[in-house]
Structure 1
Amino acid sequence: MEAVTGSPAVWVSHLSKRYRKRVAVDGVSFTVARGEVLGLLGPNGAGKTSVIKMMLGLVRPDAGEVMLLGRPGTDPRSREKVGYLPELFRYQPWLTADEVLTLHVRLAGVTVPDRERRDCLGLVGLADRATDRVGGFSKGMQQRLGLAVALVARPELVVLDEPTSALDPLGRADVRDLLLSLRQRQVAVLLNSHLIGEVERVCDRVLILDRGRVAASGTLAELLGRRTLRLRLSDVSDEASALLEPYEKAGDRYTVALPEDVPALVADLVKRGVRVHAVEPARATLEERLLDILRAHPEEHR
C-alpha cells in the first residue's frame, strides 16, 4: 500500500489496551501534524508509554487503528522514517558511540555517510566522544547518545519517551533547542515528559492522559485560556482609579485582559503618582491545569 499523501505524521484512532483486569489505555485518539511538536502528559500509570509502544508496533492493541507517515501502523514500512528514544534503553558497552550509530543506521536500512554520523553526535554534544566506548559514559551522556540514535537516520517523525530524564539543566536546554530545530525542518515530534516546564516551552499542542483516557488536549491557549497580565499597585488616587475601572480588581492587583494595553496604562498610572510594584503573568500554568485534572479524581491516584 502506498503512503497517503498530505496525511498527518501520526493518526491514532480509539486505541485501547487491557492487561488482564487492568485497563491501560481506553479509546485514545489524537494526531500529530507534520512539523508539529505534541507533548504527552499525565501521571505515572496514565498509559503514555503504552500508547507509544502500540503506536510503534511494539505492543499489539486490543482495538484501534494507527497511521504513521501515511501508512497503516501494521505495515513495517510505516516505521522506516521514525526515530525513537525509549524511556529505558541500553547500548552494548563495548561499542564506541560512532559504532552504535553505525549499527542503528544498518538496522534502519539507510545509508548515512561517516561525516553525517559525526555531525549527529556533535548535535547532541558528543562530537569529541565518538571513538569512546559507551560503557564509560555517564547516564547523561548515554541519554545524549540515545537522542543521536533517534535522529541519525533522517527521520520525518521522532518519538521521545522521557528524553531529558538524566540530563542536567544545560542538557535540557540543548534538547529544547534541538526540538525547535526539528520543528523548523518540518520533522514531527511526539514528546513524553514529566518535566512540564519543558513541554510548555517547546510544544505546539498538549495531550493529557489520565487513567488511560484523554483528559484534555489542545494548544496551550486552548488549555490555559488567554494570556493576561496582572498589575500590583499602590498609592492609587481617585483619578487613577477612574483609569482602572475597566479592569478586574483583587486586593492591590488589577488584571488586564489585553497585554498590549499594559505599556500605555502603566505610563498613565505613573504620571498620576501610582507606584507599580509588579507586572505579572496571570494565565494558569500547564502544571496547574494538569493538577486540576488529576484532583478531579483523587481516589484514582493514591
Structure 2
Amino acid sequence: MSARSAATPPSASPAVALRGLVKDFSIGLRGVKLRAVDHLDLTVAAGQVYGLLGPNGSGKSTTIKLLLGLLEPSAGSCQIFGLPCDRVEARRDVGYLPESPYFYRHLTGRELVRFYAQMGGLRRAGLAVRVAEVLHVVGLAEAADRRVGTYSKGMLQRVGLAQAMVHDPRLLILDEPTAGVDPVGSAAITELILKLKAQGKTVLITSHLLGQIEDICDRVAILDRGRLVLEGSVPDLVGRADRQALVVEALPPGELEELRAWLAARGRKLESVETPRARLDRIFLDHVGGKKP
C-alpha cells in the first residue's frame, strides 16, 4: 500500500503555477544584478509529464530551486497545488531528484531510502514495507542491502528516484534523471516515469536528451536567458504546417501542381498529402543559442 491513500481526491489547482517569477543575483561589489529568471509565467497541470528545457544558464535550475523553496524570488510567485511553495504543506507533496545527488556512501540502499522516508514524515507502521516497495519498483530489490558507495551511476539515479518517491508525493521534480546512465538504464527510468504518470502523478523533468523528452512529455517549455521562449504540447510543437510530404506510387517528387498534372496524364494519382513532424531537438535549436538556420 502506498504512503498516501488512493482515495485522496485530485486537486483542482494546477500542480505548478508560476506567475511573473523573477530572480536576480547580486554580482560584484557595485550592485550589479544578474537576472537568472525573467518574469516567468508557467502552468503545469496535475497528472502531466512536463519537460523544462533550455541550454546551460537558461534558468532551469534556478526555477526548480525557487519552486522547492531553496531560493526566495525577487518578484512574482510560485505555487504547488494552490499553496505557496515556501509552505511546508506544499513541499510535503514534492519528491525531488537533483541532477548530481550526493548520498551517504556508507549507508545501504535500504537504509538510505528509509532515512528519506522518515524525513518525509512516514511513521514506523508500514515504513519497512513502503521502503521495500519503492526499491522493488526502481529495480534495486536485490541490491538493497549493498552500500551506496558500491553503486554504479545508473543505480545511484535509481536509488535517487526511490528516495524521491518513497513518501508518495503528487509532484516529482526530476533534474536530468538519466544523466550518465547507459541506454538500458535510461529506458528503465523512462518506463518508470510513464508508470508514475499512469498512477496520476505529475512529473516535471529537465533533460538534455530531447528525443527522450519528446517521447514521454505531454507539454514542454523552452527557456533561454531566463525567459520563456516557447511552450506548448509536444504534438503541436513538432507538427510542421509549413511543409508537405508527398506519398506517390514510386515516382520522384516535384512541385505539387506539376506533379498532380504529371501523374494524371499517366493515369496515376497522388495518394496523400501529409503534415510531417519536426524533431524536438530541431525546434529547441531554432529558439535558443544564436541565429536560426
When normalised by structure 1's length, the TM-score is: 0.81
**Does structure 1 conserve the Cα–Cα contact (< 8 Å) formed by 2:69 and 2:86?**
yes
Alignment partner of 1:243 is 2:257? no
1:1-302 map, 5 Å: 5-20=11-26, 21-111=33-123, 112-225=126-239, 230-231=246-247, 234-235=250-251, 238-239=263-264, 243-244=269-270, 255-257=273-275, 282-294=276-288, 297-298=290-291
Structure 2 portions without partners, runs of 5+ = 1-9, 27-32, 253-261
Q: Are the structure 2 counterparts of residues 234 and 191 from structure 1 closer, same or farther at C-alpha, using a change threshold of 3 Å?
A: same
> Residue 89 of structure 2: SS of its match in structure 1?
helix
Gapped runs of 5+ residues in structure 1? 248-254, 258-281
1:108 aligned partner, one-letter code: G
Are the counterparts in 1 of residues 240 and 278 from structure 2 also a CA contact under 8 Å?
Answer: no
**Deviations, residues 58-114 of structure 1 (Å, cap 9, x unaligned):** 111111111112211121111112100011211111111000011101111123531
Conserved in 2, the CA contact under 8 Å of 1:143 and 1:166? no
User: Equivalent pairs: percent with the same residue?
Assistant: 40
Cα distance in structure 2, aligned partners of 1:146 and 1:229: 44
Q: What value does the CA root-mean-square deviation take over the aligned residues? A: 2.2
User: Which 4+ runs in 1 deviate beyond 6 A?
Assistant: none
Once the 2 structures are TM-superposed, how far is the Cα of residue 233 of structure 1 from its aligned partner?
5.6
Q: CA deviation at 1:10?
A: 0.9
Bigger helix fraction: 1
TM-score, with structure 2 as normaliser: 0.83
In the alignment, the residues of structure 1 paired with residue 71 and residue 102 of structure 2 have an alpha-carbon distance, to the nearest angstrom, of: 19
Cα-to-partner distance string for 1:22-78 (whole Å, 9 max, x where unaligned): 211101111111111100111111000100000110111111111112211121111
More divergent stretch after superposition (109-118 vs 152-161): 109-118
From the superposition, tell whether residues 232 and 62 of structure 1 become closer, same or farther in structure 2 (CA, over 3 Å): farther
| CA separation of 1:150 and 1:187: change in aligned 2, threshold 3 A | same
Q: Does the CA-based 8 Å contact 1:35-1:182 persist in structure 2?
A: no
How far apart, in 2, do the equivalents of 1:231 and 1:49 lie?
44
Distance in 2 between the 1:222 and 1:147 partners?
Answer: 30
Secondary structure of residue in 1 paired with 2:77: strand
Equivalent in the alignment of 1:260: none
Question: Any idea what SS the aligned residue of 1:126 has?
Answer: coil
Partner SS state of residue 16, structure 1 = strand
- Give the aligned length: 263
- Tell me by how many angstroms 1:18 deviates: 1.5
Q: Which amino acid aligns with 1:121?
A: L
Partner of 1:251: none
AA in 2 matched with 1:6 = A
How big is the shift at 1:232?
6.9
